[in-house]
Amino acid sequence: MASAAFEEIVEDFEFLEDWEDRYRYVIEQGKALDPLPDALKVPATKVDGCASQVWLHPVIEGGVFRFEGDSDAMIVKGLIAVLRHLYNGLTTVEVLEVDARAEMTRLGLNDHLSAQRSNGLRAMIERIRLVAAG
């Protein structure tokens, strides 16, 4: 169960056969994100388990989940953007139903991220699920 925005990323990835192009695409997604205000870069929003600095600021309004995020690493900021496409706008129940590992496998990211980046991605997904579970 993926959002239409995430499905667009999947379609874009199908056209990009070279992994260098796919990495550039993910980085461009991150560059398009608005920076997280410094006031939100606090210990409560910092995600442990990531090699780089990562902050996720989730908001649930009317049962709908959204989050902003930022990182000091461009590829990780791009992964945050991809996760935003996957989760933003879903209800908290839908967030918990998303099989993020399967969805990311559709992009082939699991095979092309370093172990540290994969661990960081898992940590971000766990934080999202924890917040959605309330």
Q: How many CB atoms lie within 10 A of CB 44?
A: 7
129 within 8 A of 47, measured Cβ to Cβ: no
Active site residue 13: no
Give the span between the Cα atoms of 116 and 131, in whole angstroms: 23
Catalytic residue among 50, 104, 124, 128: 50
Asked if 80 contacts 116 with a C-beta cutoff of 8 angstroms, the reply is no
- Cα 100 from Cα 97, distance rounded (Å): 9
Residues 6+ apart with CB under 8 A from 66: 58, 59, 60, 88, 89
Active site residues: 50
